[in-house]
Amino acid sequence: MLTPKQQELLSFIQTRLEEGGVSPSFEEMKDALDLRSKSGIHRLINALEERGFIRRLPNRARALEVLKLPDAMHRAPAPAVPTPKVSAPAVLLPTAANDVIEIPLHGRIAAGVPIEAMESHTMLSVPAALLGSGDHYALEVSGDSMMEAGILDGDFALIQRTDVAREGQIVVALIDDAEATLKYFRREGSRVRLDPANAAYEPQIYDPRQVRIQGKLAGLLRRYN
């Protein structure tokens, strides 16, 4: 059995998910339950999670999923007279949408000449709507050779991990297992050509054995400050 506050919080989360598909923030939950601090919300969330009523979605901020509701919150009353049994359709509880996912930020990548792509343990928060299926990571763009494709110095390139690419896709290409660059992928006879999107730069042409595809561009993030 849930305490009144636990039930009140569960009801608030459920209502917000039904209305907009996004779970409320801890600040919103604190205000809704008229609590003085968010620590009380953390305790209530932990209690609901331990009892199997909710779960937190991994790698996402403020993303909660309602797994079940207590009997007291189900609105369907018992019939007053016997009625034939009819199997009720399964009710799909709403899950958080349009939320934020944290993906690894692996240093800076050249959009001009190739530079070494440095690994790091930094994470970048990205709107889930910008990413499709698959595994993703982010790289900070350095240089202006992709500016005509709308990719500017200081942008964050959101990359879907893959080791194959189609003609004309913008890819992260690792050259000689040491340096990485962001370019259009094309084939020129038996060679691989990495094309910039800036007339001031020349295409880079390599033997296929020199180039390994590390991912393809899935989206961009830009800061204005």
Residue 145 annotated in active site: yes
- The percent of the chain in helix, strand and coil, each rounded to the nearest 5, is 20, 35, 45
Catalytic residue among 23, 30, 142, 145: 145
Give all strands (DSSP E) within the chain, no chain letters: 54-56, 60-61, 64-66, 100-110, 122-127, 136-142, 156-160, 170-175, 179-188, 191-195, 204-206, 211-221
32 vs 9: CA distance, rounded Å: 8
Strand-pair category, 64-66 with 54-56: antiparallel
Residues 93/67, Cβ–Cβ less than 8 Å = yes
Neighbours of 198 (CB within 10 A): 16
Residue 183 annotated in active site: yes
Give the position of tokens 């909660």.
Answer: 64
Catalytic residue among 25, 183, 190, 216: 183
Q: Which residues are catalytic?
A: 145, 183
